[in-house]
């Protein structure tokens, strides 16, 4: 599941004429960075949701053959992360699936992150598995962190005012049961995560490379420079 329906407000003026997933970064658009990485991990079927400037995204995806793309149309109403995935569940099937923000890019560490996540996935103890980057090895992030996790990977939220070492990269694996009894319409994945965290069923995988937060035009520029440097 590729989340590509957002408005891209913080990315303006880059998103005045194109949707955020089609903003160029180091020679190709953000959405193709994501889909190429999913393809490399063996993903054959991707559902992409659309809302803002949806026609442009659909036209761009017509040229792709792998992974096979199905559009989840949110032109009528923007459903947020959780609602967007919930609408797409009939296309996603019953097996566990990746959920990938369309603006999540990184430089790999020793092992490709998506393959590392697939190896770590254990439905007996997890409803979702989050890819978490140490703040110390991120580019373009200056917050207090999103999560902490213990030595066996169980994730917790920070207490009020607490600084924690990991930031969510925008990538996870979910089991369809995470959405059992979910709200109707628009809602955030955070709603489901909080319930699963309370049951100890949210785990994390540590990102071993360099994750890049590309939420602003300046961050896109910095990430592009870093990617071009790594590519030689």
Residue 3 has phi, psi (to 5 degrees) of: -90, 105
Could you tell me which residues come within 8 angstroms of residue 105 by beta carbon, excluding any fewer than 6 positions away? 25, 30, 33, 34, 211, 212, 214, 223, 227
Check residue 138 and give left, alpha or beta (phi > 0: left; psi -120 to 50: alpha): beta
pLDDT at 232: 61
Whole-number Å distance between alpha carbons of 183 and 194:
14
63 upstream amide cis, omega within 30 of 0? no
The overall average pLDDT reported for the chain is 94
What is the CATH code for 2-230? Answer: 3.90.550.10
pLDDT at 110: 86
Give the pLDDT confidence of 71-119 residue by residue, as tens digits.
999 999 999 999 999 999 999 988 999 999 999 999 998 899 999 999 9
Residue 206 has phi, psi (to 5 degrees) of: -80, 125
Whole-number Å distance between alpha carbons of 193 and 147:
12
Length of the chain: 232
Q: Token pair for residue 107?
A: 């430089």
Reported as a pLDDT band with limits 50, 70 and 90, residue 215 is confident
Whole-number Å distance between alpha carbons of 24 and 33:
10
Q: Give me the residue spans of the domains in the chain.
A: 2-230
Is the full-model pTM beyond 0.75? yes
């Amino acid at each position: 599941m590729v989340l590509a329906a957002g408005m891209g407000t913080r990315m303006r003026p880059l998103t005045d004429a194109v949707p955020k997933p089609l903003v160029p970064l180091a020679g190709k658009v953000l959405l193709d960075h994501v889909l190429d990485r999913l393809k490399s991990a063996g993903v054959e079927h991707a559902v992409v949701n659309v809302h803002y400037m949806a026609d442009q995204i659909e036209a761009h995806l017509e040229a792709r053959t792998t992974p096979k793309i199905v559009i989840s149309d949110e032109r009528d109403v923007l459903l947020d992360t959780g609602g967007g995935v919930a609408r797409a569940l009939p296309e996603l099937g019953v097996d566990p699936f990746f959920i990938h923000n369309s603006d999540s890019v990184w430089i790999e560490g020793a092992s490709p992150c998506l393959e590392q996540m697939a190896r770590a996935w254990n439905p007996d103890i997890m409803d979702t598995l989050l890819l978490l980057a140490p703040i110390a090895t991120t580019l373009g992030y200056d917050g207090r962190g999103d999560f902490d996790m213990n030595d066996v990977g169980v994730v917790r939220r920070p207490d009020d005012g607490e600084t924690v070492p990991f930031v969510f990269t925008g990538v996870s694996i979910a089991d369809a049961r995470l959405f059992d009894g979910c709200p109707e319409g628009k809602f955030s994945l955070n709603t489901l995560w909080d319930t699963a965290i309370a049951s100890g069923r949210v785990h994390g995988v540590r990102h071993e490379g360099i994750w890049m937060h590309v939420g602003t035009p300046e961050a896109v520029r910095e990430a592009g420079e870093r990617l071009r440097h790594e590519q030689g």
